Amino acid sequence: MSETTTLPISALHERVEAIFRKAGLNSVQAGALARVIVAGERDACKSHGIYRIEGALRTVKAGKVKPDAEPELEKQEGSAIVKVNARGGFANPAFELGLPVLAERARVLGLAALVINDCTHFSALWPEVEGLTGEGLAGLVMCPSYATVAPTGGNKPLLGTNPFAFGWPREGRPPYVFDFATSVAARGEIELHRRAGKPLPEGWAIDAEGKPTTDPEAALAGAMLPFGGHKGSAIGTMIELLAGIMIGDLTSPEVLDYLGTTTLAPFHGELIIAFSPEAFAAGRPGNPFARAEVLFEAIVGQEARLPSQRRFMARAKSEAEGVVLAQGEIDQLDRLLAL
C-alpha cells in the first residue's frame, strides 16, 4: 500500500494558507482560498482540493488575477440585487463579503441575488451553497467557465463546464445540496484521469475531429460533452446567459479569448440566488421544511442516496480523524511552500 499522512484539518489549512501568503496573496485572498481548497480535501472532492493550488498560483504568476485585491461591496440600499466587485481577485473572498448582505436581503424581501463581477473562480460551488443553507436559505449558484464543451449536435468547444448548484436547509442535519458541472464530468476529472494515465469513460468527450474518444489528451484537445444531451446543453447555455451576459460579465468563449488557455483559472462573474422558503410558503398550508423532510425520507426510503451524502460522510470522517493525503501530495505541499 502506498504511504499516506493524516493531517488535522487546521494543520492542512495553515499549510495551504502559508503557500498562498508566500506567493504574495493578501490575507483576504489567501484565507478564503485556503478555506475552499481545504474544504474540498476534507469532503473528498479531489478535483477541487489541493490539486487546484498550482493552477491558482499559475494564474497569479501570469498576471491574470490580482493577489492583493480587496473585494468591494457596491451599496444599493434596499435592492434585491447585491453586487460585489472582486476587483480582479478570486471569487471566494468576494462571496464571503457579500453573503451577510445577501442573506439579510433575502430574509427581508423573500429572495435576493448576489452578483460577483470581475473574479477568478476555480472552486466547487457547494461552499457558496452551504453559506446560504447555513443562513436558513435555499439557493442556486452558477457561473460560466471557459469554452471547452461542444453544444449537443455541435463538435467544437463553445460552452463552459458551467457548474450549477442548489441547496435546501435542514434542521439539525446537513443540508440537501447538489453541485455539478453541466458537462458529463468536470474538466478537473479529465485532468486527473490524464495524470493517472487512465482512459475516460465513454461518452465524456470528443476529439479534435469531433469523434468520440476515451483518451484524456485527445479529449483535452477536442471537446467535452454536455450531460444529458440537449438538456445539459440548454442548461449550460442558460448559465452563459444569466451568469455571463445578464450580469455584464464574460461568457465562456470570451473567457477563453481573454486567457488564451485553459491552463489558468477562468476569469468571469458568478450569480448566487437566495430564497427564503418561509416567505414563499407564507399563507399556504404546511411548513416547507417539514414537507421537504417527507420528500427526502421518501427518496432515502427507496434506498436512493441524497446528493452530497458521500461528501458529508467524508467530512465527518475527516473531522474525526483528519485528512488523509498521499505522500506525493505532501511532497507537493512542501515543494510549493519552498518556492
- What are the residue numbers of the active site? 47-48, 189
Nearest approach, Cβ of 51 to ligand PYC (angstroms)?
10
35 alpha-carbon distance from chain centroid: 13
Site string for ligand NDP, 67-106 (x = CB under 6 A): ----------------------------------------
Q: Using CB under 6 A, which residues numbered 111 to 130 contact ligand PYC?
A: 122
Among 173, 198, 291, 310, binds ligand NDP (CB under 6 A): 310
Among 34, 114, 149, 186, binds ligand NDP (CB under 6 A): 186
Among 39, 186, 255, 256, binds ligand PYC (CB under 6 A): 186
Nearer to ligand PYC among residue 161 and residue 308 (C-beta): 161
Q: How far apart are CA 109 and CA 279, in angstroms?
A: 8
212 bridge partner residues = 206
Partner in contact with 178, chosen from ligand NDP, ligand PYC, none, beta carbon below 5 to 8 Å by kind: ligand NDP
Site string for ligand NDP, 102-141 (x = CB under 6 A): -------------------xxxxxx---------------
If one asks whether residue 233 binds ligand NDP (CB under 6 A), the answer comes out as: no
If one asks whether residue 181 binds ligand PYC (CB under 6 A), the answer comes out as: yes
If one asks whether residue 133 binds ligand PYC (CB under 6 A), the answer comes out as: no
Instruction: Find all residues with CB under 8 Å of 241, minimum gap 6, and list them.
Output: none
> Could you count the other beta carbons within 10 Å of the beta carbon of residue 107?
17
Q: Stretches 49-57, 59-67, 159-167, 253-261: which one binds ligand NDP (CB under 6 A)?
A: 159-167
Partner in contact with 179, chosen from ligand NDP, ligand PYC, none, beta carbon below 5 to 8 Å by kind: ligand NDP
Nearer to ligand NDP among residue 25 and residue 239 (C-beta): 239
Question: Site for ligand PYC (CB under 6 A): how many residues?
Answer: 9
178 bridge partner residues = 166
For CA atoms 16, 308, 95, 136, the dihedral sign is: negative
> Could you count the other beta carbons within 10 Å of the beta carbon of residue 254?
18
